[in-house]
Structure 1
Amino acid sequence: MNSIGRIFKLTLFGESHGEFIGISIDGVKPGIDLSIEDFTNDLALRRPNNEWTTKRKEEDEVKIISGLFKGKTTGAALTILIKNKDLNSSFYEENQNIPRPSHVDFVSKIKYKGFNDYRGGGIFSGRLTAALVAAGVVAKKIIKSIYPKLTIESKVIEVGGLPYPSDEALNLLNKTYEEGDSLGGIIKTEIKNCPAGLGEPFFDSFESNLSHLLFSIPGLKAISFGMGIESVKLKGSDFNDIYIDKEGNTLTNNCGGINGGLTNGNEIYFTCYFRPASSIKKSQKTINLTNGKKAEISFSGRSDLCYPLRTPVIICACSSIVFLDFIYINSAIYF
């Protein structure tokens, strides 16, 4: 649905071409210093900044309407609004019955019996990830007060099957842009100085909860933790991470910092795989839902050529959100 989390709980709202998008956060620790300026850097990292990203230019103006008083969080639900300003719905109005191949257009129309907001993907749009980034800012501030040495870093390592950054990848991006097509890519994330023991058995493992939130990012098709699928090629004696001290440090880290769904104190690392964007200028065959006849569609709206170029900050935000929720769960159950 629109909410996620057990104690640090998020409720996302708004649509791509609505007046606002926003997020309401329960479980915000009282007394945390927070200002509008705290959101500036991370939201800027998510915004388009080159010719391969969407031409939609949003200022991401943040407004906090509850849970903040005299510059400090109150402990009440923190509700954040982000205004949508740079809107152009003409393409969507003209093509509302001509679904883009591999896009949410068709399935959302079916699910909501034709009452869905089809403009810019509506509630399924990547635009709403700006609100996730805002929630990540709050989570990171709270985490910093508990685990000041913890760091989360994400970076693009591959675009269109080529190492990124590289001259070859940049040339491919330019060529694909000229062709009116799109590319997929891969992002690697590392969480360092993470405590051991976060996660719950079976249904709330660290991997499953993190994956749950990460899969809300449009275009994500797969996640692997540690060696991931490459581990199937090894024997247990080669894969197993050997302990080297009583603190739980290991000689290798093939498990990616997680055993049995619990963090083990070593560096957590995982890889996210993104498909090519479905909205492309290149003409594609589809169906006109009004008359059932074959049609063609060429996207003239504004979209990204390659999702991963703007996504690292979103992955960091999601990681922070899940990490903080597990800190709270661990404290509530065991202390």
Structure 2
Amino acid sequence: MPGNSLGKALTITTFGESHGPAIGVIIDGLPAGLPVKKEDLEFELSFRRPGRLFVSGRREKDEPEILSGIYNGRTTGSPLAILIRNTDVISSFYEEVKNKPRPGHADLPYIMRYGYENWDYRGGGRASARETATRVAAGAIAKKLLMLTNTSIAGHLISLGPIELDEKVSFEEILCSKYSPVRASKKSLESKYEELVKSATVEGDSYGGVAEIVVNNPPKALGEPVFDKIKADLAKAILSIPAVMGFEYGLGFKAAKMKGSEANDEIIFKDDKITWKYNNSGGILGGITTGEPIILRCAFKPTSSIRKPQKTVDLRNNKETEISVLGRHDPAVAIRGVTVAEAMVALVLADHAIRSNVIPQVKLSDKDVEIIENNWKRYVNSCKPTEGSQ
């Protein structure tokens, strides 16, 4: 089976290329009755949209068109299709790429798999991060569905290049980072990130970064051992994002350097319930959610498209040559990657919540809809900057 789909009870299938007429996603398995508006999708897409400060200059409106699966403003239970048209395409930037595969890109592997004559080199084709806009649109719907369980998902950059966050932050600060142009949860960190990105832009280079995603109030007991553990599905979803090089949750790789007495989550009785003292496991034990906040991190590599000359091979004569990649590219793909990572986490959790009957598989009740709408409204209005503050 081609690998363009994700999920079991809630399945998404994305389609389209970077410089094709449009990209899109089909979402199957949504229960009937979920209120979905174009504005819901646009809200999440606004935090990934290019053409802003410190990200790619490609000016896409990312205006979603809902083609099916909605009647009277609510899901019908049939597949929901969303189309996002590509409106700012300049393929001439990629004429050199046609014969000179770019270092760090999927160009050469795509040629090896599908053949040179079938490879869409324009903007990276199907391998482009442009495709992730469809994931964010689908993730917006998953986020809204998770409002039934009062589950909120937020992400921020805990490092960019050599600069790292060195203090604790609250969930509210992480949530508010979506309004930071560099996804920083602290103002002091924001200025440092900005200077770093500016220097990379001037030098024609790029930086990598680490995104942290936190899920507040996740449903308990999600995850199906042994191969559909929630950690396994989250890892697959996150690692499917272009430019992601690593995944960890809870203590992550730090656990490999610790003793069992240091790493174990002690079980305690607190506030009339059994819980865990440290949440070292990041909300997941045995591949099943514990109800504690889910904490995961993913590492984004530096953007591969840079102006600095790099060695490659000219496919016309198999001779070594150089390439300087032109076009409009992110100096740090991790900035917009945070929103994509949030979407992937939402899609996995919503899929498992439906599989576990935490969220109804067939139809939402009027009471369910009321809860979802109230929580979604609260989420959208949280941290909203006052006019003129951005």
TM-score range, shorter chain: over 0.9
For 1:66-118, what per-residue CA distance to the aligned partner results, in whole angstroms no more than 9, with x for missing partners? 11112111100001000000000012233301011111111111111120211
Residue 143 of structure 2 aligns with an amino acid whose one-letter code is: K
Alpha-carbon contact 2:22-2:86 (below 8 Å) kept: yes
1:185 to partner: Cα distance: 0.4
TM-score between both structures, scaled by the size of structure 2: 0.82
Residue 243, structure 1, aligned to residue 267, structure 2: yes
Residue in 2 aligned with 1:96?
A: 98
Q: 1:192 aligned to 212, 216, 219, which one?
A: 216
Residue in 2 aligned with 1:202?
A: 226
1: distance between equivalents of 2:195 and 2:23? Answer: 35
For 1:178-228, what per-residue CA distance to the aligned partner results, in whole angstroms no more than 9, with x for missing partners? 110010001111111112210011211111101111112111000111011
Residue in 2 aligned with 1:287?
A: 313
Structure 2 residue matching 1:204: 3-state secondary structure: coil
Residue 301, structure 1, aligned to residue 327, structure 2: yes
1: distance between equivalents of 2:354 and 2:158? Answer: 32
Residue 245 of structure 2 aligns with an amino acid whose one-letter code is: K
Residue 217 of structure 1 aligns with an amino acid whose one-letter code is: I
1:166 to partner: Cα distance: 4.6
For 1:129-159, what per-residue CA distance to the aligned partner results, in whole angstroms no more than 9, with x for missing partners? 1100010111122221x20x21111001111
Residue 113, structure 1, aligned to residue 139, structure 2: no
2: distance between equivalents of 1:100 and 1:223? Answer: 25
Residue in 2 aligned with 1:150?
A: 151
Q: 2:126 aligned to 110, 123, 127, which one?
A: 123
1:232 to partner: Cα distance: 1.5
1: distance between equivalents of 2:320 and 2:97? Answer: 14
RMSD: 1.5
Residue in 1 aligned with 2:369?
A: none
2: distance between equivalents of 1:77 and 1:288? Answer: 44
Alpha-carbon contact 2:97-2:121 (below 8 Å) kept: no
Q: Between the two proteins, what is the percent identity of the paired residues?
A: 40
Residue 62, structure 1, aligned to residue 88, structure 2: no
2: distance between equivalents of 1:234 and 1:292? Answer: 49
2: distance between equivalents of 1:41 and 1:166? Answer: 22
Residue in 2 aligned with 1:37?
A: 39
Structure 1 residue matching 2:276: 3-state secondary structure: coil
Alpha-carbon contact 1:279-1:303 (below 8 Å) kept: yes
From the superposition, tell whether residues 4 and 286 of structure 1 become closer, same or farther in structure 2 (CA, over 3 Å). same
Residue in 2 aligned with 1:329?
A: 355
Residue in 2 aligned with 1:78?
A: 80
2: distance between equivalents of 1:10 and 1:311? Answer: 19
Alpha-carbon contact 1:248-1:265 (below 8 Å) kept: no
1:167 to partner: Cα distance: 3.9
Residue 200 of structure 2 aligns with an amino acid whose one-letter code is: T
Alpha-carbon contact 2:45-2:136 (below 8 Å) kept: yes
1:33 to partner: Cα distance: 1.2
Alpha-carbon contact 2:219-2:353 (below 8 Å) kept: no
Residue 271, structure 1, aligned to residue 273, structure 2: no
Q: 2:251 aligned to 212, 217, 227, which one?
A: 227
Structure 2 residue matching 1:46: 3-state secondary structure: coil
Structure 1 residue matching 2:213: 3-state secondary structure: strand
Structure 1 residue matching 2:347: 3-state secondary structure: helix
Runs of 5+ unmatched residues, structure 1 = none
Residue in 1 aligned with 2:180?
A: none
Residue 303 of structure 2 aligns with an amino acid whose one-letter code is: A
Runs of 5+ unmatched residues, structure 2 = 165-183, 362-390
Bigger mean CA deviation after superposition, 165-174 or 265-274: 165-174
Bigger mean CA deviation after superposition, 306-315 or 77-86: 306-315
1:40 to partner: Cα distance: 1.4
For 1:25-74, what per-residue CA distance to the aligned partner results, in whole angstroms no more than 9, with x for missing partners? 11011111111111111111001354431110100111111111121111
2: distance between equivalents of 1:247 and 1:56? Answer: 51
1: distance between equivalents of 2:52 and 2:144? Answer: 29
Alpha-carbon contact 2:155-2:211 (below 8 Å) kept: yes
Alpha-carbon contact 2:19-2:91 (below 8 Å) kept: yes
Structure 1 residue matching 2:317: 3-state secondary structure: coil
Bigger mean CA deviation after superposition, 279-288 or 45-54: 45-54
2: distance between equivalents of 1:174 and 1:13? Answer: 33
Alpha-carbon contact 2:51-2:58 (below 8 Å) kept: no
Structure 2 residue matching 1:13: 3-state secondary structure: strand
Residue in 1 aligned with 2:161?
A: 160
